[in-house]
Structure 1
Amino acid sequence: MPVGTDTVDAPLPSTIQQRADVVSSVLEKMSVSNVRNSLVFNISISTQSPWKSAEIADTIAQLYIRDQIDVKYEATEQATRWLTGRVAELRTALEVAERKISDFSAATQLISPRVFNRSNGRSNICVTGSGLLKKLTPRSLHN
């Protein structure tokens, strides 16, 4: 210690300790409560300055709102990623199913319902899956 000074060099508290002390002090002076039957909550802080109390309460409310927005944004992002993947899976499954239908139709040589409907029920000839010719009429469809 230098000669002629009356102060004692005390170690400065660490930044972490200072922050913990400030948080503890604020929490002791703060109260948060829900307003019954609503989504509103009340934040009250008692300090020597009404301005400082209002500023702290407003800041805590803003931080809470920002945190809730971030949480909801992340949940939305996660849902979007999942839905995007699911849509891709379903699109692939649809394409496979459509190819199978196309392959089946080509292999069985079935008459298209559109072709039969265009004939307005008049007699038509179609090739069956076994390659046999069959005369189609509205009555033969019901038998």
Structure 2
Amino acid sequence: MNETLHQAAQAYLEHLRTQGKKERTLYTYGKDFEQIEAFFGAERKLSSVLIPHVGKFFKSDALLKLPNGRERSAPTVEKTKRVLRMFLIWAKETGRIDKLPLPKDTPMGRSAKKGGQRDDEHDSIEAPAAEQS
């Protein structure tokens, strides 16, 4: 596939809609994608987004600051990172990208750990063993 970031983001939001996500969730994710697209460029090819680009976004004022220069709250920043991470995992799982462009220190979350490994150029990450009760 040779989709732009915007096209892939819209396809992801539609996928979430078919999975039963609430409209409010889709709206807030859409706002996250506006921020993501403003940094990367909406017309950028999704396949051209690489680990260094995502790493720069995670450290950028585009993510960390509001338009007025004030700091975004930590929960807001973490949610936007989580939305981007989930989107990139979905893009990999659906064949839109070949490698997962996430920096090594990016928390992977439950969905990516099911397979036990990350499919990128970094070391694999094993899912933690379940605690016994």
Q: What TM-score comes out, normalization by structure 2 length?
A: 0.29
Structure (1 or 2) with the larger CA radius of gyration: 1
Structure 1 length-normalised TM: 0.27
Which one has more relative contact order, counting CA pairs under 8 Å at least 6 apart?
2
The structure whose residues are more often helix, as a share, is 1
- Indicate the structure with greater strand content: 1
